[in-house]
Structure 1
Amino acid sequence: MPHFPSAGQANDAQESEVAHTLRIRVKTRRRRYLEQNGDYFDSPSLELADPLLYDRMIRRFQSAAEREADGREKGYSGMLEADLMRSEAKIEALNHPDPNSPLIYRRDASGAITAVEQDEEDRPKTKEEGLSKWREYVEMRFLRGEDQDFDYKVVDEDERYDDLDWDRREREENYFEQEEAEFVGEGEKKGETGVQDY
């Protein structure tokens, strides 16, 4: 005997589909926002998102002149905050190691906290590779909605960031999924087919 979903199951499936569509729409809007606002990646406050990763991907490749310019841009209080956050993050990583982190933190003979790569393959070799990995991390963090200093409502509710091609395809797929299948000429042929022969 065929199983037909109950009204509650059908509603749950529809709600799940609607929620899935909304999540995709929000992610699409956020991605398009980043595409149109590349200066988001240049914000000095992004260093604080993950100070240890920033140190590993960006700071280690900066020259003394670049660090000095970076410091002037942040100002004294910004530099102090970044150094403090980095120090606290190192102590946290030392006391509570993250098994998924690419780095292991240890104290050296002088008592300084140093990082050791778990996998040398993960370590960026060039400034460009480090910047690329950093941007990828920041982008994924933004798409997940984890930037606590950003007002996502401004993007998530703005139709200007919609991917209109995706919306059109989604509506078409929903339309065709809801259509009932009709087969013309099912069974034995009877009478005229409606096709004229010349």
Structure 2
Amino acid sequence: MTQTEIADSESNSQAAELPTQLVDIFKALAENESIVFKSQQIDDPELNLLEKQQIVQEAFNKNRENFLIRFGSHLDDGQLNELQSLAIKEPIKPDESLEDIRLLLDDFKRKLHTRSICVKNRRYQAMEQLLQKGEYFSEHEMMQRAPELYQELVGQYLTEAEKKQRDSYDVRNTSFSGILMHTLEQRQRDELLQQIDTSLREEQETTTPMAAPLNDCDVPDACRQQWGGFADDEPVACSTSRNIGPPAGRITTAEYYNPAERELLRNEFMGLMKERFLSGQDQDFDYASVDDNAQLDDLKQIERDEEDAYFESSDNDDDHNKEEVRPVAPERRSSNDEDEDELDVYMRHLNKHPSLQH
């Protein structure tokens, strides 16, 4: 048996012993297009997924510390935890340091946490700018991004006059092609909203019990003359005529809900659209232009976050070394209300909304 065959057999035996979670991590790294797995010439064929996964696994089997240095920045928090619980343990190889491996894992986790806070703050700042400009969070744009949600909370409660005002635009300052495009988009949108509205009404009719209609010859019991009644008694205030006329007109939802209730539903829709943006659910939005934009950083907030991270890490160190004296945090740590992140205040207020209490 050649040395290559021996190495392959050892690699296969090691792969068979690896937990499934680690194999999934290797597959995820192999599918990451931003990783350079091997220096190649222009004419060299592209590596397939299996070859990339083999490179990742060989790096792990050879030296776990070098594996983290090379691929650790491409792992998320869950994958780092999996490595810490399954792979970073005895026995260690002569060229490995278990303490250095743990320090690398802690460093990557700390960077992920800092990155998460940074992205959250940048998205919040971007949302504030978009709200000031008004176009992205206008009713028309939000209706395009979430037509089902819009129709459920806003659209079905609009009067015909309000719908006409919503769909109006400046024809005089619009080109002929723009008018055609607007007409086509409006027609497609109206058809979609009509389908959504029909499905919503069908759901309401199936969930709401309907009162049985009166028979044509039915007369209310209160209107019947009772035995022992006198002719000069006051008549009962109801009609004894047969119900042969057409039923009363159905009250539309726009007329049924008062302005305050409709405004509450509109605010709920706006809050949910803000939450969608902050959580990265707007598929057509370029989040990379926001998440990687350092100009959106609040330098004062970054300083506070770094101080919070420092004190948090100090507390974690004290948990591992209980013999050491716990450092006393400055007084500013006791005034959480004053230094609380503006975005945290907003998200806590939004989560208390009745629409999110499911």
In the other structure, the counterpart of 2:297 is: 162
- Of 132, 140, 148 in structure 1, the residue corresponding to residue 267 of structure 2 is 132
Is it true that 1:37 corresponds to 2:130 in the alignment?
Answer: yes
Bigger-Rg structure (1/2)? 2
Q: For 1:20 and 1:31, how far apart are their aligned partners in 2? A: 17
Partner of 2:203: 115
Deviation by residue 1:8-62 (Cα, 9 ceiling, x = unmatched): 3332232122112212211211111222221121052321333222012111332
What's the counterpart of residue 111 of structure 2? 18
Distance between the aligned counterparts of 1:54 and 1:34, measured in 2?
Answer: 19
Aligned to 1:186: none
Tell me the alpha carbon deviations over residues 137-159 of structure 1, each in whole angstroms, 9 at most, x when there is no partner: 11111111121222222222222
CA distance in 1 between partners of 2:115 and 2:197 (Å): 38
Structure 1 residues 32 and 85, CA gap change in structure 2 (3 angstroms): same
2:189 corresponds in structure 1 to 82
Superposed displacement of residue 172, structure 1: 2.3
SS at match of 1:60: helix
What is the CA–CA distance in structure 2 between the aligned matches of 1:10 and 1:139, rounded to whole Å? 38
Given that 1:58 and 1:131 are in contact with CA atoms closer than 8 Å, whether structure 2 keeps it comes out as yes
Secondary structure of the residue that 1:116 maps to in structure 2? helix
Distance 2:193 2:100 in 1: 54
What does the per-residue CA deviation read over 1:42-97, in whole Å, with 9 as the maximum and x for residues that have no partner? 05232133322201211133222221122234932222232344466679xx7xxx
Matched pairs, number: 158
Amino acid of the structure 1 residue aligned with 2:127: L
1:79-120 deviations in Å (ceiling 9; x for gaps): 2232344466679xx7xxxxxxxxxx5xxxxxxx623398xx
Larger strand percent: 1
Distance 1:43 1:155 in 2: 23
Give yes or no for contact 1:27–1:143 (8 Å, CA) kept in 2: yes
Give the alignment's Cα RMSD to 1 decimal: 3.6
Q: Secondary structure at the match of 1:18?
A: helix
TM-score (norm 1): 0.63
Unaligned runs of 5+ in 1: 95-104, 106-112, 184-198
Does the 8 Å contact 1:47/1:82 carry over to 2? Answer: no
8 Å CA contact retained: 2:123, 2:291: yes
Q: 1:66 aligns with which of 159, 162, 167?
A: 162
1:47 counterpart = 2:135: no
> Structure 1 residues 131, 15: CA separation in 2 closer, same or farther (over 3 Å shift)?
same
Rounded Cα–Cα distance in structure 2 between residues aligned with 1:24 and 1:89 = 37
Identity %: 25
